[in-house]
Amino acid sequence: MATLTVDDVTLLGPGCGEQACGETGDGRMLEPEEIVEDLIAFLQPKHLAGKKVLITAGPTFEAIDPVRGITNLSSGKMGFAVARAAREAGAEVTLVCGPVSQPTPRGVTRIDVTGALEMHAAVMVRAAAQDVFVGVAAVADYRPQAAAEHKIKKDGSAAPTITLVQNPDILAEVAALPNPPLCVGFAAESQNLAEYAQKKRLAKKIPLIVGNLIQHGFGGEDNTLVLFDETGQTPLQPGPKSELARTLVSHIARQLDRR
């Protein structure tokens, strides 16, 4: 293995888990799905070789009581696709994700969080050391000021009053760092996509924002994306989120080259 590595041969595995001999540890063949994922990654252009990329994905869950909360319909699929594409492009990828059921892309460091404050803390402690930050997560704009200690019961009295406070703007704070990474945002809208996406890009002072209408992308395997930057808008061909993510990563790499 050492000789093959010196000869620039890429080795897949070994995998880790239960062995035929009854022991547990390194030595298994990778699962077929893992081999396919590694082969696809090997064949992708390494646009981000040597770069560090931090990505957020999924929704956040803002607790009202121990069983209820404010959240949204984000599945995390687009963010996970971007993480996989960045890793395929040679980057060292860290993925901070809200409560989702997506499997972790191979070679990606995953950090699970629940609420916006947790996501904010996980991002801000790492952001300054990154080359790229991509905020794909659908972070709740507001959270309850205080979560109830116990489940709120319906006892026939008036509905409870829930006071909301604003969550931190993670993307804007990363963009405002003294030496920020290249910041890319996402804007999921139900109407007026171009107007709202460009407005969001300018307000957060970021070079690139990726827009989509929620009826085209939430929860599904495909999406329809439009890239918005200082030159205007660039619609991408509708397709699988995996392919769109690779196109986006190539665009990000070109942006990095121009910095």
Output the six-digit token pair for 246. Answer: 């690779």
CA-derived radius of gyration, the chain = 20
How far is the C-alpha of 78 from the C-alpha of 87, rounded, in Å? Answer: 14
**DSSP character string of 115-126:** SHHHHHHHHHTT
Q: How many helices (H) and strands (E) does the chain have?
A: 8, 16
Opening angle at CA 124, ends 119 and 129, nearest 5: 130
Inter-axis angle of helices 77-88 and 241-258, nearest 10 = 60
248 and 226 Cβ atoms separated by less than 8 Å: no
Inter-axis angle of helices 77-88 and 32-43, nearest 10 = 60
Catalytic site residues? Answer: 21
Output the six-digit token pair for 150. Answer: 């116990």
248 and 212 Cβ atoms separated by less than 8 Å: no
